Amino acid sequence: MDIGNFSAKLEPFLLMGKSMKGAAAAKLVQDATTAPGVFVFSELLELPNIQELAKSEQHQKSYSLLQLFAYKTYQDYLKHKDQLPPLSAAQITKLKHLTIVSLAAERRILPYADLQQALEISNVRELEDLIIDAIYLDLLQGKLDQKEEQLEVTYTMGRDIEPGKLEQILAALKDWASTTAAVLTTLDNKISSIASETAARKLAEAEHEKVVQANLKEAFDKQKDKSLGGGSSMAGRRALYSLSDRNDSMDVDEPDTKGKNRKYVNLVSFFSALVNFTMLIVYVPDFVKIK
């Protein structure tokens, strides 16, 4: 929404207001409050010639009319009709648009029932047409929820500030700033807490992984040692079986065809038996262990 565009629409009336007084100034107020596209009036209110209308009994109602369009609502008009000049249809429509803007500035969700009461509109279709016109005039942005019968406001123009209300706005802004600061502090503390918990969890996971790896290494080393021990026992068993087979082969009787070789064969058999006996002494412990 371009506030500058609203101010530009008021500019011709500001130029004329600098030179107009009395009845002419009162007529200027009527024209400004009726003119299409003019929705801000504070600069016109501040002109000395317009300020003079408030002091004139004859034109005081015109000044009150300008105040009504600057920062009041349709309900204010209904309450103070006797202090105001009669409104044309165009003025009533504009005032209702401005009333919707005021309500939208206070709440994001506006039920149709509340709007109908504030604007004294009994027909829902008439209310929706009025809201749609306000959206097309760029006074507000929002969505009509016909199912829930409400107006969802996303943005609205700002109206002129009534005298004495500035202090209330500043107080509200200070409260909002304090609340925001408290929320930010809470969020910072929560983020710090989460960061600390995350770091502690990662450290615990690293320690756990270290212990697991150490346990795995110890188990692997023990299994390796056991495998090496079993290998030597198996080697002893193989040697023992080899010796048994060799002895069996030695027991085979060979034909004694040559007498001179018998002594040589007997000598070889003696030394083989001696070697076998020695190896039995070495490998019997492993063989017994395996058994």
3-state SS of 189-233 is HHHHHHHHHHHHHHHHHHHHHHHHHHHHHHHHHHHHHHHHHHHHH
**Centroid of chain to Cα 249:** 89
| Per-residue confidence band for 155, with pLDDT thresholds at 50, 70 and 90 | very high
CA atoms of 195 and 205, how far apart (whole Å): 15
pLDDT for 280 equals 53
Lowest-confidence pick of 128-137, 156-165, 223-232: 223-232
pLDDT for 162 equals 81
Answer yes or no: is pLDDT of 93 > 80. yes
Lowest-confidence pick of 106-110, 164-168, 183-187, 210-214: 164-168
**CA 278, 282, 283 angle in degrees (round to 5)?**
115
For 14-42, the pLDDT digits (tens) are 999 999 999 999 999 999 999 999 999 99
Place of tokens 């006797």: 82
Other CB atoms within a 10 A radius of the CB of residue 254 amount to 8
Answer yes or no: is pLDDT of 257 > 80. no
- Helix or strand or coil: residue 111? strand
More confident residue, 246 or 219: 219
| Per-residue confidence band for 259, with pLDDT thresholds at 50, 70 and 90 | low
Sheet holding 109-111, edge to edge: 109-111, 150-156, 140-145
More confident residue, 221 or 90: 90
pLDDT for 95 equals 96
**Average pLDDT score over residue span 121-139:** 95
Residue pair 47/11 in contact (Cβ under 8 Å)? The answer is: no
pLDDT for 240 equals 45
Return the C-alpha torsion angle 128, 131, 137, 142, nearest 10: -110
Mean pLDDT over each residue of the chain, to the nearest integer: 82
**Average pLDDT score over residue span 271-277:** 59
| Per-residue confidence band for 246, with pLDDT thresholds at 50, 70 and 90 | very low
**Average pLDDT score over residue span 150-177:** 83
Q: What percent of the chain has pLDDT over 70?
A: 76
Tokens of 5: 């565009």
User: Quick one: the chain helix, strand, coil %, rounded to 5?
Assistant: 75, 5, 20
pTM: 0.62
HSE-up of 48 (CA within 13 Å, CB side)? 2
